[in-house]
Chains A and B, each alone.
Chain A
Amino acid sequence: MAPPAARTGPEPSRTDPALIRNFCIIAHIDHGKSTLADRMLQMTGVVDDRSMRAQYLDRMDIERERGITIKSQAVRLPFASDDGTTYVLNLIDTPGHVDFTYEVSRSLAACEGCILLVDAAQGIEAQTLANLYLALENDLTIIPVLNKIDLPAAQPEKYAAELAHIIGCDVDDVLKVSAKTGEGVRELLQAAVDRVPHPVGNPDGPARALIFDSVYDAYRGVVTYVRVVDGSLNKRERILMLSTKATHEMLEVGVISPEPLPSDGLGVGEVGYLITGVKDVRQSKVGDTVTLVSRPATEMLGGYKDPRPMVFSGLYPIAGEDYPTLRDALEKLQLNDAAVVWEPETSAALGFGFRCGFLGLLHLEIVRERLEREFGLDLISTAPNVVNRVIMEDGSEHVVTNPSEFPGGKIAEIYEPVVRATVLAPTEYVGTIMELCQNRRGTLLGMDYLSEDRVELRYTLPLAEIVFDFFDQLKSRTRGYASLDYEPTGEQASDLVKVDILLQGETVDAFSAIVHKDKAYAYGVDMTKKLRELIPRQQFEVPIQAAVGARIIARENIRAIRKDVLAKCYGGDITRKRKLLEKQKEGKKRMKMVGRVEVPQEAFIAALSTNDASAAGKK
């Protein structure tokens, strides 16, 4: 194999920081970030045209299929500048979704510059705007870029003005490229060299490197991505993680270009990877600081946080015997997704499963999809819920992650998480968006015009209102034009109640929900009606009730079945009848018993999934 072109640039561990440019790309999904990255790989010669594949940096199947980046990647690109010098460009690919804001913030912290990539036919979206604010907070140099200028629908002048207005730069500073055709990409790389400041650090101080991502590789264990701030990390040294105080042998250090390329070490300003042989990403936490055991730094780089789950859902195997498989799968998954938390839980209706915490709805859906795809599981997930803090009159406190564990007794106060939501949309939809947010207990914080026909609305909303079907509603009310971003901002005391659903007097834990007092009735009516349609008639009448405490707020009845017999049975019919009986018995096995009531698995799935699955399916 011919040596990769990347080796012709300055060598890792011996690169002058003045020649390094570290930058990331912030873009909305579908605005062409991966295509632009692909073009940069080709243009700098680290990938030849023959081995090029679309979305080169997106490794997971799910990432490539859904066109999103879940885990960050960092690639080292040699770039022959107009001044005749070869520079090292480190492109740090960041996750684009709100669920992964923390990971985004760590990636940004590893950079000095940021390409703000916006579709020239669509303009900036709310999530991009949120990440742009994060970049500005990190004092990054912003290079505004309009992509897809080759599209007939492109309006580069209009959106250049919008970008200039948002960033506060000159319209002429906005670059125009087509990642698809390659037009303007070289100019963009040159702009990165010219505009992004080079990294500055103390080469002689104790080593400090920021972990901005860590991924689990089945063959190599955990691969940790770092940006060296001070000093250097050299191979075969022992490293120390400042937050956990854990020490590891550094088995390999190197850069990605775009395949792993071992090196002697990493110096000030360099971006690369380390391998220590640990098997669990929780040993290598995003945001942590790496130093050397031999000469440890004492001060952590700022910004480290433990990931905090925001949305919870019960995951249950459809086949009860898959429970151990699900446990193994979650353990394996946690090796490369430190943000998933889980604990065993038992549901009278669904059997044995796990209550899992996620960063957000997309995270929930991705985890569920990976469990099903990579481990061959069929899962039911209960409707997503948030964490409630319940203060009792006696002063005791309960943290409720599962509605069925909501405490009885005298409650003084209930708190729920709230978020600050930003909605960007064409001005004509302001009315309908306000109506939706009002319905969802939102408080308007402010409204700004980004341009003549685009507006930014800022709301405080209870997170619980968003995890239901908010995004779907928003999209359908605005014909898909609105974009949404939100970030947790704390909690508020609210008038919340727990609504229970009872089948023949027995509470079905999987259907309990914590909702605002004013919405309890609507939830009760919806759920009882839905279940009446989904549960087959039994040999006796089955009342379905919704209750708040002891008070029944809605009731439906499933009438008793009176006829369940195939009237005719003749000689030529017996085999068919026996086979039908065998099939029905198989079906009976898949029934869950709630008291005496046989409820088909499908009824649970249908009742639980109608709202949440679509809400989580945001792109």
Chain B
Amino acid sequence: MPSTLPDGEPAPVDGALPDVSVSRLGELPLGAYLHVPYCTTRCGYCDFNTYTAQELGPGVSRATWVQSIRQEVRLAARVLDGRAPAVSTVFFGGGTPTLLPPADLGAALAVVRDELGLAADAEVTTEANPESVDLAYLTALREAGFTRVSFGMQSATPHVLATLDRRHTPGRAQQAVAQARAAGFEQVSLDLIYGTPGETLADWRTTLEAALAAGPDHVSAYALIVEEGTRLAARVRRGEVAVPDDDLMADEYALADELLTAAGLGWYELSNWARPGAECRHNVLYWRSADWWGFGPGAHSHVGGTRWWNEKHPAAWAAVVDAGRSPARAREVLDADDRRVERILLGTRLRDGHPLTDLLPAGAEAAKRQVGEGLLDAAAYDEGRVVLTLRGRLLADAVVRDLVD
């Protein structure tokens, strides 16, 4: 079961933005997210909005995705009406985008370029399953204008991959990186998961070392979250597998930070490490509360302080966009306080941190105390910024709870 959408107010059928959001267009860069909601199988831990062929049901297929995307991008162009800057980052996520032929991904990117404009130095990423690509596929993507590929490697340990229901063999991710390089990709990222039931610290070291041996210039390492409604949650509830222990996860995080840093990949967000200059600009745009338009079923958008989310099921989404209407299911217009809270919540996750001047007096007081408690970096604080220490990164949610006061 994919995760549920939040509650919100009704969204207008023509997708029009409130005046307050229109007036903010251009203040911040604009990104585009394209959601490809297909997988061959559903992994037991995943609660993303994705569907196997079987789950998809009749009346909708992978083949028509790009046509419906074209309709939605055209709707965005009508709404923005030339008032927004050219798109600076594009990100294809899923699901498994690489289940589509490279021509479809290329066609979708072309629609974005034609309808919204694409900056000359735009970053264009796709997530990829190491199993579903080869050199020819990657070459085709590169030729279509993709600049970055992010492989879902997850683990190099067979029993961990098995618990996660991942089908690929441990060596496959490294090969995929090599093929991406051969296809001409300069930016290659690996996604890793730690804290899987049954994983030891030694297993995690094996995974990190294998990932580094592949030579990525970017690594995302996420602690496994056992989400409600997933098969994994059911197995935990039945006592078949043990919930990952927080203390072990803390050790795993510290190990990741140590090994990745030593390999020249510095942290730039809580769960992301990169060579200097190889940071994912698209994700940074999320964390800086910039604008992005999300296309596809269940995609979330945030433009000028208005956030909305699309119809979740591919069939429902396609039916609405194909009829020329906005697929937004509901939206929220963020008030000043919501926006401040989000800026702090997100900005604090970044290595560059967040300006102290954005905090209210109680939050500033908390920041001062947190420096004393070793949660915030003292030197950065003296320069007027909130920056987490290693200990602070592990306790970031607790830190933020006090900073937003």
Contacts and interface: CB of A to CB of B under 8 A. Distances in A.
Interface of A: 539, 559, 561-572, 574-579, 581, 584-585, 588
B137 interface: no
A568 B287 CA distance: 11
B112 interface: no
Nearest to B254: A562
B309 A569 contact: no
B242 interface: no
A68 to B, nearest CB: 42
Interface in B1-60: 6, 8, 33
B222 A567 contact: yes
A571 B300 contact: yes
Contact of A566 (B6, B302, B338, B397): B397
A576 B6 CA distance: 7
Contact of B397 (A559, A565, A575, A579): A565
Contacts of A562: 246-247, 250, 394-395
B203 interface: no
Given A565-B394, A567-B222, A572 B270 contact: no
Given A563-B250, A571-B286, A578 B338 contact: yes
Contacts of A578: 338, 341-342, 345
A332 B338 CA distance: 44
Give the contact-size bracket for chain B: 35 or more
Interface string B376-405: 000000000000000001111110110010
Given A565-B223, A566-B397, A575-B8, 15 more contacts: A539-B395, A561-B246, A563-B246, A564-B396, A567-B223, A569-B287, A569-B346, A570-B286, A572-B294, A572-B298, A575-B309, A578-B345, A581-B341, A584-B397, A585-B404
B394 A539 contact: no
Contacts of A577: 345
Contacts of B250: 562-563
Nearest to B6: A575
A239 B302 CA distance: 79
A575 B283 CA distance: 16
Contact of B33 (A569, A571, A575): A571
B373 A539 contact: yes
A572 B270 CA distance: 17
A579 B398 contact: no
A377 to B, nearest CB: 29
A561 B270 contact: no
Contacts of A567: 221-223, 225, 253, 270-271
B316 to A, nearest CB: 17
A562 B374 CA distance: 13
Contacts of B302: 571, 574
B190 interface: no
A547 B136 CA distance: 73
A577 B341 CA distance: 11
A566 B247 CA distance: 14
Contacts of A588: 401
Interface in B223-252: 223, 225, 246-247, 249-250
Q: Which 5 A-B residue pairings sit nearest by Cβ, starting from the closest?
A: A562-B250, A567-B223, A572-B300, A565-B396, A563-B250
A289 to B, nearest CB: 64
A537 to B, nearest CB: 8
Interface string B301-324: 010000101000000000000000
A579 B6 contact: yes
A588 B8 CA distance: 25
B138 interface: no
B165 interface: no
A564 B402 CA distance: 13
Contact of A575 (B223, B300, B373, B395): B300
Given A571-B300, A576-B6, A579-B6, A565 B341 contact: no
Contact of B294 (A565, A571, A579): A571
Contact of B395 (A564, A568, A581): A564
A561 B223 CA distance: 16
A411 B270 CA distance: 59
A566 B398 CA distance: 10
A585 B400 CA distance: 10
Given A562-B250, A567-B271, A581-B404, A574 B286 contact: yes
B345 to A, nearest CB: 6
Contacts of A575: 6, 8, 300, 307, 309, 332
B151 interface: no
Given A585-B401, A588-B401, A572 B247 contact: no
Given A574-B286, A578-B341, A563 B6 contact: no
A575 B349 CA distance: 16
A571 B283 CA distance: 8
B341 A574 contact: no
Nearest to A572: B300
26 contacts: A562-B246, A563-B223, A563-B246, A563-B394, A565-B393, A565-B397, A567-B271, A568-B225, A569-B271, A569-B286, A569-B287, A569-B346, A569-B349, A570-B93, A570-B283, A571-B300, A571-B302, A572-B294, A575-B6, A575-B8, A575-B307, A576-B6, A581-B345, A581-B397, A581-B400, A585-B401
